[in-house]
């Protein structure tokens, strides 16, 4: 019998709003549950157990049928996100999609390594900086990179809110300088429980943080990385399912 997957939401096609695949047409499969509790998390509805009543328990085949329906059977990139999707049994889902020529990308904080990372097309490891309130297990980050192996394109992405986060990003880069590296300014206005419109984002503030980060990178002549915005936040705010 197939293992079941906790699903928070499945939506798309839309564009990937951040990271190495920014702008790429994508169907999102967001799993429910996470082993972290970041102070600025913008997807608490896929993290905290108080939202578990909104999650669906689905088989890989049920998830795949929905992805195929949304994409009208046309191969597209499937983004596995969360929560922490690495805590879910996703091998069968990946196998079903690969058989139909779909591509799979996954983002995780690098706190759990799975052998099926090697079946992904793109693995984004996003260890969390000091502002998150979480600690980084550097050995586990290395295990995630090793689990992905040579056939998966592995990248690193660090969200930056302040100078301490920026210094942390420099340390991540120092430890794993062979891995393509992305910086992203943090969204300091995540969705609130009492705001269902999804449009509470301070776009001017987000843009200001992006400019601040770009200026720091340029001043340090840190030229072998990429600084990217959360494009979806700039377009849709915190609106879900776009």
Residue-range domain boundaries for the chain: 4-236
Distance CA 20, CA 8 (A): 23
Handedness of CA 18, 174, 134, 154 (dihedral sign): positive
Give backbone dihedrals phi and psi of 162, rounded to 5 degrees, phi first: -155, -175
Angstrom distances, CA of residue 80 to CA of 5, 49, 61: 12, 19, 15
- With beta carbons less than 8 A apart as the criterion, state whether 233 and 201 touch: yes
**Residue 238 binned pLDDT confidence (cut-offs 50, 70, 90):** low
- Tell me the mean pLDDT in the region 197-214: 78
Q: What pLDDT was estimated at residue 190?
A: 55
Region of poorest pLDDT, from 8-22, 74-88, 143-157, 213-227: 8-22
Peptide bond preceding 83 in cis form (omega within 30 of 0): yes
Closest listed residue to residue 66, CA positions, set 27, 98, 102: 27
Give backbone dihedrals phi and psi of 205, rounded to 5 degrees, phi first: -65, -40
**Residue 188 binned pLDDT confidence (cut-offs 50, 70, 90):** low
pLDDT (tens digit, 9 = 90+) per residue, 37-63?
Answer: 999 998 899 999 899 999 999 999 999
- With beta carbons less than 8 A apart as the criterion, state whether 229 and 210 touch: yes
Q: What pLDDT was estimated at residue 230?
A: 80
Q: What is the CATH number of domain 4-236?
A: 3.20.20.70
> Residue 134, exposed/middle/buried by CB under 10 A (0-12, 13-18, 19+)?
middle
The pLDDT of residue 198 is above 90: no
pLDDT (tens digit, 9 = 90+) per residue, 90-122?
Answer: 999 999 999 999 999 999 999 999 999 999 999
Q: What pLDDT was estimated at residue 125?
A: 98
The pLDDT of residue 195 is above 50: no
Distance CA 61, CA 95 (A): 10
The pLDDT of residue 205 is above 80: no
Q: What is the dihedral of CA 213, 219, 225, 231, to 10 degrees?
A: 30
The pLDDT of residue 200 is above 80: no
Distance CA 213, CA 211 (A): 5
Peptide bond preceding 127 in cis form (omega within 30 of 0): no
């Amino acid at each position: 019998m197939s293992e079941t997957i906790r699903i928070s939401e499945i939506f798309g096609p839309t564009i990937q709003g951040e990271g190495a695949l920014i702008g790429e047409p994508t169907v999102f499969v967001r799993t429910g549950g996470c082993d972290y509790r970041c102070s600025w998390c913008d997807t608490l509805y896929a993290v905290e157990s108080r939202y578990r009543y909104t999650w669906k328990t689905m088989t890989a085949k049920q998830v795949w049928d929905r992805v195929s329906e949304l994409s009208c059977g046309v191969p597209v990139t499937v983004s596995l996100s969360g929560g922490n999707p690495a805590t879910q049994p996703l091998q069968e889902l990946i196998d079903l999609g690969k058989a139909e020529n779909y591509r799979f990308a996954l983002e995780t904080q690098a706190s759990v390594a799975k052998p099926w990372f090697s079946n992904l097309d793109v693995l984004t490891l996003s260890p969390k900086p000091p502002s998150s309130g979480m600690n980084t297990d550097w050995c586990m980050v290395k295990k995630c990179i090793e689990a992905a192996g040579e056939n998966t394109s592995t990248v690193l992405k660090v969200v930056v809110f302040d100078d301490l986060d920026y210094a942390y990003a420099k340390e991540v880069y120092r430890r794993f300088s062979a891995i393509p590296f992305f910086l992203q300014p943090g969204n300091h206005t995540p969705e609130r429980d009492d705001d269902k419109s999804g449009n509470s984002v301070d776009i001017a503030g987000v843009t200001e943080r992006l400019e601040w980060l770009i200026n720091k990178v340029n001043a340090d002549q840190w030229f072998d990385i990429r600084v990217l915005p959360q494009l979806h936040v700039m377009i849709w705010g915190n609106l879900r399912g776009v």
